[in-house]
Amino acid sequence: MFTVYVLRSQQNDQLYVGYTTDLKQRLETHNKGSVTSTKAKRPWKLIFAEAYISQDDALRREKYLKTTQGKGALKHMLRETLKAIPQSQ
């Protein structure tokens, strides 16, 4: 199973999109500072995840969510979640 996930930085509210086969371990990796692109914005909180059987489908979804159009769709889809979570905890 492949999971596309969205993290939110508790430091500056930035969103990060990625995919993994082990979501719990990947979140721990991000929060330990082992991922170069997310190290400076720790800690991260999981705010969204989608599961896929196909790796190709997961990669396609991740790639889309990283586009300008995909980011807009994500923010629209999660607008209540983004409002409900206190910013910069």
73 inside domain: no
Dist CA 13 CA 88 (whole Å): 6
20-35 pLDDT, tens digit each: 999 999 999 999 999 9
Residue 20 within any structural domain of the chain:
yes
Residue 49 lies in a domain: yes
Is 28 part of a structural domain of the chain?
A: yes
Q: What is the pLDDT of residue 55?
A: 99
Nearby residues of 1 by Cβ (< 8 Å), 6 or more positions away: 21, 51, 52, 53
Number of structural domains (the chain) is 1
- Which pTM was predicted? 0.92
In a domain, 46, yes or no: yes
Domain span including residue 8? 1-54
Residue 35 lies in a domain: yes
In a domain, 21, yes or no: yes
For the stretch 33-66, pLDDT in tens is: 999 999 999 999 999 999 999 999 999 999 999 9
What's the confidence (pLDDT) of residue 85? 67
* Whether the predicted pLDDT of 86 surpasses 80: no
